[in-house]
Structure 1
């Protein structure tokens, strides 16, 4: 892998491709979440679990097998999983477990391909610009997914089944953009599409033999050595499992902020915001605030995820933003319990929550790409992507508890779990 200069100019077609791929990659996940009540009205938590747990599994395991499957093969597999997710959920309406299987396909696709495209950015001239375009696309997917369901199903009157079947166009576009818009010549062939092994010591490093299996990779290596850059392409299959684990454990400064900010913001969404309404005892009022808060949040996410080339957070700022998100969680919980500030002005802080969440996402990955040695960036970006998914999983549990507690305080029926507070 060549050393990247973060100021390098990237081809516009590649930047557009990363943006579109980010949008399409996440829109299936959002559509499933937006239609969770259509899939399992009495068990929305099940839909969240079957969408998130497969993504967590593939992100945790991916760094240890991704090198065996080329980027092209993974993209084709992801498109197939996305198509299956829409068709299985759409045609399994008489079987909850069949629909949940379809939701699981969506989770597998979004999880594997997020890790894949984050890692893929390391092969392009400007990883920061590619990461920013990817992040911006994923940010807009939050709005796009809800809009797809609202426009076609809620306002347009189409059945949820038809809404999902029409979404089958997205996996087709996924492949078209990857195969015909993105410059995939920058990606290594299947046998060399691997992560760079991290030698356990300087002695091990000296003993490693470079394995180059493609002529273009030889040329890149030769050019880098002529420039005096230290860059060797190693065979990732020779890297020991414990060496990968050892390296991934060093990514805590990037993973922990991601986990923390997602834990806080998704706890707000799944637990706290559902217990706010004007008046709170009106189910319709609570639903209205929840949907409005979600829209304000998604708008903030899109704006901040698009800011990667305009602002690069330092580590202290990266750590400060999750702390502020936790303070917002505490604030909204206090508001839901006491009603001390109880009006639509709260939406401004929902927007701020989106800004913080999106900013941590894009800045964690762009900072990682800047601070990590070039030979390690591919593995690092893929492995660090687990942070947001872990945060969402933890938030599902915390959100259920907080919702039950706040429903109890406000004497509201209908909490998923009963908690006395």
Structure 2
């Protein structure tokens, strides 16, 4: 039974009542959009219990229904339509996101700084563990890579199905705790390989969960592209910073590896402080669940009476809503129908899986470029040296190649606001990276180009890798429907981790093959080529 909607409504009344009705909407449009407002509706009256809810009363009150922690769902997406009430998120984060077109507006400097620092700190723990792999397990460096990557892969694969149940604040605190545990457990487990590998696993959990979380979190800010670029730039510099931390304090500074890790405990503290004090967290939603509840049907005599209970920010945010009233009217007029207001966090398991399967155009380039570049790092570059017979020469080239690579990564990951790759270019860069893998393999096997100028090509490898990383995410944020960007960013982040996992295996085999060709001892796996 359709509810009667009549009478003119002021813009502020529509905002306070949580409706998404343009100024010139007809009666039928208001009905289709789930509006249940009587003709004499007035501005809301604050409920006395400080619950943050308001009662929008009509002629008489017959039924009151309210549900907390829900998102704005279009009634037609509910099988119980028209007996479902269109509800608004408690913190109105989606409404705020609509008030500013995040793809065209600028972002506050504090948020850009926060994303950069969070990206740097998030990845530096992972890099420190990799840089100290020889100290952790001299005869099993591959185990350190495995225990650092595999937990990250697990959390990224599963995250899209449970992230919405845990707030960003809670995830950040958990990530900081895991980072702190990783440093302390490894530092105090010098005589137990199992304990040290457990600490490495904590590092993998932290970096994997928080990378997916912060990438997704950028969708709530005014300019996701700028936030993603700052995050990517910070992660790019973390590669250099992590190695510099270990080299500066342990190798050159003379501190023990234990002391180096214990001093790194400052990073988890910085992690939390930046999130809480620098980043504008008011834009972020609370943990989200969504339940539909039926509204009892009214008799024909009372069909003109309806009550909507709506969640709003509270008195402080009312001023912000009033100031942005005109901007909201303009945005709503440009937005597609309200069916796109559906929040992807409320999707079921099968629906999410089907949606994630459509993200291959972003996941495959990430996985491919990381597979190629990490195969070079773990396998090919370790078999190059001038001369190749010298262990010290091979180690020198490997370190120099890694530094050139990290410099390229930092530069390209910082270019997201200057250059946006199209789909064809995004697909071209991984293909070029695979060609460079073939090139370096032939160099290591035949020595047809064998001098320090190869470092220029290593720099290009970093440019391609960092370019795919930042452009895949920024392109996604522009092409995916706004209601699904958060889920998509979290899901696509699994691509680089999958690539690294396969690269670790391929690199061991390729290293053994190249060592065999050059008659070098010490390969992790004996392969005859």
TM-score after normalising by structure 1: 0.93
Say which is worse superposed, 181-190 or 300-309, in terms of deviation: 181-190
Partner residue in 1 for 2:447:
339
Residue 354 of structure 2 is aligned to residue 246 of structure 1 = yes
Measured in 2, the distance between the counterparts of 1:226 and 1:407 equals 64
Measured in 2, the distance between the counterparts of 1:161 and 1:233 equals 51
Contact conserved, 2:102 with 2:221, CA < 8 A, in 1? no
Residue 297 of structure 2 is aligned to residue 191 of structure 1 = no
Computed over aligned residues only, the root mean square deviation of the Cα atoms, in angstroms, reads: 2.0
Measured in 2, the distance between the counterparts of 1:186 and 1:125 equals 10
Aligned to 1:56, which of 145, 153, 156? 153
Measured in 2, the distance between the counterparts of 1:227 and 1:282 equals 69
**What displacement does 1:240 show?**
1.6
Aligned residues: 405
Partner residue in 2 for 1:142:
239
Measured in 1, the distance between the counterparts of 2:365 and 2:288 equals 34
Partner residue in 2 for 1:109:
206
Deviation sequence 1:333-377 (CA, Å, 0-9, x none): 000000011000000000000000000000000000000110010
Partner residue in 1 for 2:418:
310
Contact conserved, 1:131 with 1:365, CA < 8 A, in 2? yes
Deviation sequence 1:11-43 (CA, Å, 0-9, x none): 000000000000000000000000000000000
Any gaps of 5 or more consecutive residues in structure 2? 1-93, 291-307
Residue 489 of structure 2 is aligned to residue 381 of structure 1 = yes
Q: In the TM superposition, what are the counterparts of 1:359-398 in structure 2 within 5 Å?
A: 359-398=467-506
**What displacement does 1:223 show?**
3.6
**What displacement does 1:158 show?**
0.3
Partner residue in 2 for 1:215:
313
Contact conserved, 2:233 with 2:413, CA < 8 A, in 1? yes
| Secondary structure of the corresponding residue to residue 191 of structure 1 | coil
Question: Which structure's residues are more often helix, by fraction?
Answer: 1
**What displacement does 1:239 show?**
2.2
| Secondary structure of the corresponding residue to residue 524 of structure 2 | coil
Inter-CA distance 73–233: structure 2 relative to 1 (3 Å threshold): farther
**What displacement does 1:5 show?**
3.4
Partner residue in 2 for 1:5:
102
| Secondary structure of the corresponding residue to residue 198 of structure 2 | helix
Inter-CA distance 213–90: structure 2 relative to 1 (3 Å threshold): farther
**What displacement does 1:234 show?**
4.4
Partner residue in 2 for 1:198:
none
Measured in 1, the distance between the counterparts of 2:116 and 2:405 equals 20
Measured in 2, the distance between the counterparts of 1:27 and 1:15 equals 19
Measured in 2, the distance between the counterparts of 1:280 and 1:238 equals 57
Partner residue in 1 for 2:217:
120
Any gaps of 5 or more consecutive residues in structure 1? 195-209
Measured in 1, the distance between the counterparts of 2:310 and 2:203 equals 35
Contact conserved, 1:67 with 1:236, CA < 8 A, in 2? no
| Secondary structure of the corresponding residue to residue 215 of structure 1 | coil
TM-score after normalising by structure 2: 0.74
Contact conserved, 2:343 with 2:484, CA < 8 A, in 1? no
Partner residue in 1 for 2:395:
287
Deviation sequence 1:392-421 (CA, Å, 0-9, x none): 000000000000000000000000000000
Contact conserved, 2:179 with 2:202, CA < 8 A, in 1? yes
